[in-house]
Structure 1
Amino acid sequence: MNTNLPIVVNGSLLIAEPFLGDSNFERSVVLVCEHNQAGTFGLVLNQLTDVNVSDVIEDMHADLPLYVGGPVQQNTLHFIHRRPDLLDESIQILDGLYWSGNFDQVKQAVNLGTLTERDIRFFIGYSGWGEGQLANELEQKAWIVSQTDADFLFSTPANAFWRGVLKRMGGEYKAIAHYPVDPRLN
């Protein structure tokens, strides 16, 4: 195994290289929520659906956007947030960013308006890699690894996220941010 691979930890971003060739992850940015010897669990941050959470959770009454977290188990709902003060059982991903928590408290806080789009994102499905699978994809240079912070994550629109992360990284990555989706059209 290549020991020069980028280091992936909880909170890392996996940025799809421009010509990945996988329609599930084209121009995607995946937040790694859990990474260990058994594998990796993440959520795609920039695949917005045209459905709101209130369309899939009947007792949630706010029109918060719903994202596709990945191709695995798209009948499951996941969320990240930055309000552990409102949600018990939250799992810290990085400073100021949390995954999961007490869902009854989520529904109550959303319905009361104390938990808004500025502080929570909902996802159907997730992205997952089995043992060694992500390392293999990193070796093939399918992903660029970076870090983020909660403010950038929640303040950057989904349609600008892939480019925004690369521009923020600077250098050669800033140039990659401007690559066309189809290089034949360049």
Structure 2
Amino acid sequence: MDSNSDFFRIEKNNIQPEKGKVLIAEPFLEGRYFKRSIVLLVECNSDGAVGFVLNKPINLSIDEVLINIAHFDGDVFIGGPVDTNRIYFLHTIPDLLPHSLPVFDNLHWGGDFSVLKELIEQKLVQPDQVRFFAGYSGWSVGQLDDEINENSWMVSQLNVEEIMNCNNEKLWEKSLRRMGGKYKMWSNFPENPGMN
């Protein structure tokens, strides 16, 4: 194995993929949804995994995507390639939204969307309390483990504030820089090395 392949190999960090952890794409992972992406896992168990891509904004607000909802300043993000015609959401207001599912700390996903629409209409919820996603990312049994073993993802973590208030354009680079070492250098690697 040459030194270049060692440089781009993800070192095992003993952080297991589980609910509340994030997946950071390696620099050469291709695809519209996952290239240089950060994915928050909201479910990860023996049945598979579900997550939302955190750093792919559509640059439309939720009222530009859905009809019959009041104006809300929060952007909609591409959550992943599955079920892209549906809207999903993360939030920090579980006391106000029945049927939401915990992720970690004060972060939840889903809940009664009609209640959320009322909260938005009454201006009782702020953009930093809710993030919307078109579609989600899903892995069948064993699929995510295989992708991690194939060096496609490294497992890390972000806190709730970083997830809800992140600078989405730079989240991938920022997350790698924070990990230090060779990952810091990865963050500066050009998307298309041939164009360098």
One fold, TM greater than 0.5? yes
1:61 aligns with one of 51, 64, 70: 70
Q: What pairs with 1:68-107 in structure 2 (closer than 5 Å)?
A: 68-107=78-117
> Is residue 186 of structure 2 the alignment partner of residue 173 of structure 1?
no
Tell me whether 3-12 or 151-160 shows the greater mean CA deviation: 3-12
Whether the 8 Å CA contact 1:6–1:145 is kept in 2: the answer is yes
Q: Distance in 1 between matches of 2:53 and 2:156?
A: 14
2:35 aligns with one of 20, 26, 32: 26
Deviation string 1:77-103 (CA, Å, 9 cap, x unpaired) is 100011112212221101121111111
2:169 aligns with one of 144, 149, 159: 159
Alignment TM-score, normalising by the size of structure 2: 0.88
Deviation string 1:48-73 (CA, Å, 9 cap, x unpaired) is 11322112322211233111100111
The alignment partner of 1:145 has SS state of: strand
The alignment partner of 2:164 has SS state of: helix
1:9 aligns with one of 18, 23, 42: 18
Structure 2 letter corresponding to 1:44: V
Which structure has the greater CA radius of gyration? 2
In structure 2, the partner of 1:37 is: 46
In structure 2, the partner of 1:118 is: 128
The alignment partner of 1:118 has SS state of: helix
Q: Distance in 1 between matches of 2:153 and 2:78?
A: 19
Alignment TM-score, normalising by the size of structure 1: 0.92
Change (3 A) 1:109 1:143: same
> Is residue 147 of structure 2 the alignment partner of residue 146 of structure 1?
no
Gaps of 5+ in 2: 1-11
Structure 1 letter corresponding to 2:112: N
What's the RMSD between the two structures over aligned residues?
1.7
In structure 1, the partner of 2:58 is: 49
* Large movers: runs of 4+ above 4 Å: 3-6
Q: Distance in 1 between matches of 2:57 and 2:115?
A: 24
